[in-house]
Structure 1
Amino acid sequence: MRTALRRAGVAVVTSLLAATGLAAPTLAHAEDTATPATGTVTGVVRADATGRPVGGVCVTLFALPDPQLWNGLWGGCTDASGTFSADVPTGRYTARFTDDAGRFAEEFYDGRITLGGATTFAVRANRSTSLNASLAPGATLTGRAVDAASGSPLAGVCASALRGWAGDYVTAVSTCTGADGRWRLTGLPAGRFALAFNLRGTSYTTWAFGASSQADATLIGVGVGRTRTVRDVALASAGTVTGRVTDAAGQPVANAWVDLTGRFPGRAGAGEGPLAVETDADGRFTKTGVEPGTYRPLVYAADYEAFAPEWAGDADSLASATPVTVTSGGQATVDFQVAPGGHLTVAVIEADGRPTTRTFIGFVRLGSGEYIGDFDIYNSSMCTSNALPGGSFVIQLQDPATGQNYWYDGATSQDDATPVTLGRGESKTITFHLP
């Protein structure tokens, strides 16, 4: 079976471009560009144990000099006779063989376990390059995921395996748990693995057997083609955070954003991050799938202007916020009553006393160091920040052309910067003198 060249991930990239409103690259017309020279890569994939050809094994080709797992060329899958064939541009490559059914372990050419260690081969114009593989049977790890508090089976838990204490994720077929809490990883190579678990609808990872990270995980070994059942893995059930945002008159604030991390997103955009949630028309929000722990939520306006950012407990900083504790399977409630923000207008003056004509990116940080706003000096020597809470602030300018940083007022480091104080709802203009 011959496969025309297709770059893995093109559909994903196109979707991302559409989602962000960016135009996808336009393909050149055939008459505008020279057709690159191509050759053919063909081969047969067999099973180690029997020597028989196997169908349904898929081949990905990686071009040198910088092969990357995310940037492969789709080479097609083997047919019933174990054969594959793909036309690709000339050059040097290596290859990966994977089985979506989990019958065989992932393998790189020629019998290697990592892309970095794979053997390379040349593809020449109008010639056929033979690329055969013999795959080892996949190993299986299986077990049960249970609720850490009750010991009951957990549904919707998916397992992943990582190589050793510092290696990458291993390609395997993961069967997530049903009502019985049983999970399964098939198609693993022989080796020792750290096991990571994710509960559907959540954004956090639980490492098996109480580990806090891959680096301190209990490694589970399994041999070629073997099946091993591991002891129960206890996971804390996700919790929920709910609440309501109102204004000073007690009216609901719709389309506000609450971020459980307490971090202001700034240029990343409102709603950025897995722990952000938007209020509805009645000012209410509910964030599910929250990892048990302690949080200091922040509320901010979608346009960064409608009201001042505020932390839980009517606080003006992350450090002074009231902690919100989320328990396994529990629900925590936090309400906010927001108020108009203050603003800083910054006028930038060069060392000779003239208003600057340069471009700067401005950053506003709380005295405790947390980023809380920004502004741009562009085609003007003055600019105004987004809405700010009350407090003491450090103002920084960065020259995007050189990367040089400056701090108010004439300081050369953040520690030496002169703080700027704003009362709640206060607006102030300062003059920033460049050295």
Structure 2
Amino acid sequence: MSLTLTVPPRLEADRRAGLPVAIIGAGPVGLAAAAHLIERGLPVVVFEAGDTAGAAVRAWGHTRLFSPWRYVVDAAARRLLEAEGWTAPDAEGLPTGDELVDGYLEPLARTAALASVIRYGTRVEAVARQGMDRTRSVGRAATPFVLRLRTAEQTTDATARAVIDTSGTTSSPRSLLSSGLAHDDLGDRVTTALPDVRGRDRDRFVGRRVLVVGAGHSAANTLIALAALAEEDPATRVSWAVRNDGTARLAADAADDLAARGRLGTAVHDLVADGRVEQIASFEIDDVRLCDDGVRVTGRRSGEPFALEVDVIVNATGFRPDLTMLREIRLGLDEIVEAPRALAPLIDPNLHSCGSVPPHGVAELTHPEPDFFLAGMKSYGRAPTFLLLTGYEQVRSIAAELAGDRVAARQVDLVLPETGVCTTDAGSCCA
């Protein structure tokens, strides 16, 4: 009888030799990682669930970033693009998400170096070591990674010498409940952050009672758009629920080195002061349920029972990492922030804004699983302080480490725009 081996033989040789570095996600940080690795002569494969580069950015493509072009283009990516005749946009211009994709990410993905290594329409469902679950240790570091891939046609496996997960967090919004627990499915009565209020999603909001939940810049962008919609149709009523006692988390002009971000905060302050937006401060939401006339939201306001009914809710509470596909990977995550343990104290939102996060690289991003890295927004876990510049320096450092240049990997240097107060969600600090 024949014997089928379910565990590969433990060889002394590194079985990962010649395999590519797998990058999950073809967004800004994923493509930057690929550019840095290719510059160092390492084979790369990029798996992107969407049909194009920057597919997740397209979801909020109507939103104008508050970071100018000089802060959203990676250095290695720029070198690839300029070698093929690309002309950079005005360094001080503020692109929309769509302009970021059209003018930077898609041209980058089409370069000769990257076009052949990106696999679109390919979702990574799981990552593990080949023939090993997370409990097996012997020979682990020399064993290839295996990635379970799903396309529209089939499910397959691919192997890699290292994995960089830059898949982001925008597909995993936080709960509306202050407890963080899941709530009932509200169907089309709830939208995620940054809907196109005055464009493709207008019919969902015009003439409706709208509640925006969240205290960050995604909430601010949406509130400004809703206030403008209410001027067009006064039947549109806008409420804003926050757990704190005011709008202090949004920076005023003088406190922010990114002028557009500062103006955003000032605009929302004015909307509240003028009564165009009803702010429901110190509101801790305990439950949200469908009712005959929309959604009933219940909880405590300043410690007292409080409830209201609305037609639609915009969930701008931020995001959290989806770690489901990493169940067999040995992660070392902070118990609170869900970021790598060495990184967590550097990005604690109670202590740091986007601009005060110290430079960091592979030393802070290392997990108990050798050659596995979270990078980009996902590396920040639940901390809302991420900037693209930070992600670009992360992957530059990781690429140097994987190329064996430990000195360059640990020489991290990053100058960030200063800010007084910052919270991050899609379309704001993340760019």
Q: Same fold (TM over 0.5)?
A: no
TM-score, normalising length from structure 2? Answer: 0.21
Structure of greater relative contact order (alpha carbons < 8 Å, 6+ residues apart): 2
Hey, which of these two has a bigger chunk of helix by percent? 2
TM-score, normalising length from structure 1? Answer: 0.20
Hey, which of these two has a bigger chunk of strand by percent? 1
Q: Which has the larger radius of gyration?
A: 1
